[in-house]
């Protein structure tokens, strides 16, 4: 039984490392995200995604106007 507990603990620690690694990557992707708490980082991430979508839609509209 002790082996199972140790395995679970290692698995939890391993998944924690994976989450921390992904959080650091997200912090690098979001402007101003370095050192942000996760809650604020997630809010800023959604804002950044919406801003990127808006930029994409504007560029698509410009291209459409240029070719029509």
What's the predicted TM-score (pTM) here? Answer: 0.72
Whole-angstrom distance, CA of residue 29 vs CA of residue 27: 6
pLDDT tens digits along 3-57: 555 566 667 788 999 999 999 999 999 999 999 999 999 999 999 999 999 999 9
Answer yes or no: are the C-beta atoms of 42 and 22 closer than 8 Å. no
Cα–Cα distance for residue pair 2/7, rounded to 1 Å: 9
């Amino acid at each position: 039984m002790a082996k199972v507990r140790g395995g679970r603990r290692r698995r939890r620690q391993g998944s924690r490392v994976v989450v921390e690694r992904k959080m650091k990557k997200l912090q690098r992707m979001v402007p101003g995200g370095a050192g942000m708490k996760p809650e604020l980082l997630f809010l800023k991430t959604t804002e950044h995604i919406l801003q990127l979508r808006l930029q994409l839609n504007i560029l698509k509209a410009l291209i459409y106007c240029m070719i029509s």
